[in-house]
Amino acid sequence: MCNETSGHLIMKKLLAALPAAILAITLSQSIRAETLNCETINCDCTKLPSTAWQDVCRIKQQNLQATCRDKQGKVLGYCSVHGPAANRVALSLDLSRTSVEQSNSVSTLNNKFAAIYWSMHQDIEITERYIKQQKYSPAQQRINRVQANLDTLFDLQKNMVSILEDSGNRAKTEQSWRNFAEDTEAVSDKLASMGNKLLDSADSENANSTAIALLQAAGNIYEHAGYGYAKGIRHKMSAHAWKKAADSSADILNKAHNLAQVEQQNYRYQAATRLHRASYNWLIAIDKKSAQEALVESQQFVDDSDANIEKILNNPELISSY
């Protein structure tokens, strides 16, 4: 990782020195409503750094809008390749949330970051103990707390960035996003490892559902890490985080028991969308091979032939037609 800012070093010291009181977070996950205005469906095609990708994106967006009109406002399907501001994607990352955090001190925010990361790691350790004891209900409650803490962390990060941007220090702003992404990805890695281990050995429905909850949480948090790396201008690291988010969805699809058809469809869309976001970041990083591999892999989950995606899948030269 790049050299850490002093704030990040302070945060890590605080993680080790915090008292045993856990910061209880009870924020609920935000729920996104479907739009009834079909023309507002936006796949953010103009942000794609390739004219060939923009063409595929526009076709898919037009198809989504047409289907929406035919179904009298019911939106079916998601954007395929898309820009970062697309509003029809199967992701948990919600950029529309308004931060309720209004701190105006970097040091105060660093203290809050440290407290919440400490709380998350404590919840993960307690979750591990519950799983060993086969106490799956309280384990899932702890997993829910970790995800609620993620919302709070994202609010804190947006507040931190606002302060740094006001100071005009772009380098510190980007470093702050990288710090957020690195620390958040570490949480995801632990959850993903726990989820896969439990899913491989699950011998009951409760164990199976807890493993799914762990992998869902890991994927959601990987999304935020991927977003943070991209904002910190580390697009290859962002792509890897998005790929790991997609792997979490794929692991659920491939190994979980008794998934309903609607759940399978949801995880397929989710895996494909996360791979599309990985391919976008690899494209920004000028890694044509990885960008194309992610696109090809996405088609294992969702068929985007209606958007003429074969145009870029089968022609490596079009993967970076700037």
- What's the CA gap between 67 and 275, in Å, rounded? 24
- Residue 299's pLDDT is 86
- What's the CA gap between 288 and 147, in Å, rounded? 34
pLDDT per residue as tens, the chain (322 positions): 444 444 555 444 444 443 333 333 322 232 233 445 888 889 999 888 778 788 888 888 888 888 888 887 776 778 878 888 888 887 877 766 555 555 568 888 889 999 999 999 999 999 999 999 999 999 999 999 999 999 899 989 988 898 888 888 889 999 999 999 999 999 999 999 999 999 999 889 999 999 999 999 999 999 999 999 999 999 999 999 999 999 999 999 999 888 888 899 889 999 999 999 999 999 899 888 898 899 889 888 887 766 667 766 655 444 443 2
- What's the CA gap between 54 and 82, in Å, rounded? 8
* Buried/exposed code over 179-214 (b: 16+ C-beta within 10 A; e: otherwise): bbbbbbbebbbbbbebbbebbeebeeeebbbbbbbb
> Nearest Cα to 113, choosing from 184, 162, 191?
184
For 235-255, the three-class secondary structure string (H helix, E strand, C coil) is: HHHHHHHHHHHHHHHHHHHHH
- What's the CA gap between 146 and 249, in Å, rounded? 18
Per the CB < 8 A criterion, the answer to whether 28 and 16 are in contact is: no
For the whole model, what pTM was predicted? 0.78
Residues 6 or more apart whose CB falls under 8 angstroms from that of 193 comprise none
Phi and psi at residue 210, to the nearest 5°: -70, -40
Name the residue with tokens 């709380």.
119
> Nearest Cα to 217, choosing from 141, 160, 119?
141
Per the CB < 8 A criterion, the answer to whether 202 and 208 are in contact is: yes
Task: Give the DSSP letter of residue 31.
Answer: -
- What's the CA gap between 157 and 169, in Å, rounded? 15
Torsion of CA 96, 102, 108, 109, to 10 degrees: 10
For 137-193, the three-class secondary structure string (H helix, E strand, C coil) is: HHHHHHHHHHHHHHHHHHHHHHHHHHHHHHCCCHHHHHHHHHHHHHHHHHHHHHHHH
Total residue count of the chain as it appears in this document = 322
Question: How many C-beta atoms lie closer than 10 Å to residue 174's C-beta?
Answer: 17
